């Protein structure tokens, strides 16, 4: 009988890290675009980060 394959935890960890990194990169680009826009002079995110 074919043996059941164990759960590949390394693959799960890689997927979790990949999703976390993509979210961080998207948030970083949104942060840059909001800080560069002249309409947002007093930005809540800049106050939060600094």
Residue-level pLDDT at 19: 97
Residue-level pLDDT at 31: 87
The tokens for 42 are 């007093």
> Is there a contact between 45 and 33 (Cβ–Cβ < 8 Å)?
no
CA distances from 35 to 15, 21, 27, 28, 29 (A): 30, 21, 12, 11, 10
Segment 10-24 mean pLDDT? 94
Segment 1-27 mean pLDDT? 87
Residue-level pLDDT at 42: 55
Segment 12-18 mean pLDDT? 95
């Amino acid at each position: 009988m074919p043996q059941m394959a164990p759960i590949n935890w390394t693959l799960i960890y890689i997927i979790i890290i990949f999703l976390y990194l993509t979210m961080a990169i998207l948030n970083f680009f949104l942060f840059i675009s909001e800080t560069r826009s002249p309409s947002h002079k007093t930005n809540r995110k800049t106050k939060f980060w600094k």
